[in-house]
Amino acid sequence: MAMVRAGVVPGRRMAVYAVAGLAVVGVVCAGTVGVFGLNRVFTGLFFGGAVAIALLFALFGRDGVELTEDRIVRRTPWGSSTLGWDRVVAGRFALGEKGRWSLALDLNDGSEPHHELVLLSIPPVTAPISGAYDMRKREQVNEIRNILRQKKIPVTILPEIADALQRHWKIAPPTR
């Protein structure tokens, strides 16, 4: 079984990444203007934007969750933690924040009764696949569903979500 990448970047961390990107633009632009003069403001903005985009790709690329045969790895740009599959109590596909659908794992943590690990957050499915984003999200749902099925982890899904996934994305509802 291959590794499955998932994960949702929380809003606060996304804001930190955005601030870091803007800071990089400012520093590179100021450095360019300081070395070459005021006539190079747009050059500094251009190179600052290019460096900021590279930084954002690196930050967002490192941030996520990897589901493997042996373990679950949560990664951030500054570290990672590993969870065993034995800590997963169940999975659920339900309504998340801001009307989005959320696919999450409920974890049994020693200190807390349950902890949630959000694997996927997608807008509600209301039509057949219409682009690359829809296709990738459908693949992720199928990959996560397959690994949870192999691990024999029960998944609950709201009936309206199951119906929409079956009707529009041709994903059959989970079987027991």
Average pLDDT along the chain, 176 residues, taken 10 residues at a time: 81 94 97 94 96 96 91 91 90 86 85 76 91 92 91 91 91 67
Supply the pLDDT for residue 174. Answer: 62
CA distance 44 to 60: 24
Supply the pLDDT for residue 59. Answer: 94
- Tokens coding 54: 């590279």
Supply the pLDDT for residue 139. Answer: 92
Instruction: Look at residue 133 and tell me if it is in a domain.
Output: yes
Number of domains in the chain: 2
Quote the pTM value: 0.80
CA distance 66 to 3: 7
- Residue 158 has a CB neighbour count (10 Å cut-off) of 13
Residues in a beta bridge with 90: 106
Supply the pLDDT for residue 33. Answer: 95
Contact 118, 111 (CB under 8 A): no
18 closest CA partner among 64, 55, 43 = 55
Instruction: Look at residue 174 and tell me if it is in a domain.
Output: no
Supply the pLDDT for residue 50. Answer: 97
Question: In this structure, which amino acid lies at residue 125?
Answer: V
65 closest CA partner among 106, 120, 147 = 120
Same structural domain, 114 and 44: no
Instruction: Look at residue 160 and tell me if it is in a domain.
Output: yes
Same structural domain, 22 and 102: no
Asked which of 47, 62, 77 is the last residue of a domain, the reply is 62
Which residue range forms the structural domain that includes residue 70?
64-169
Q: What is the DSSP letter of 52?
A: H
Supply the pLDDT for residue 171. Answer: 86
CA distances from 164 to 117, 129, 167 (A): 23, 12, 5
Supply the pLDDT for residue 34. Answer: 96
Same structural domain, 80 and 125: yes
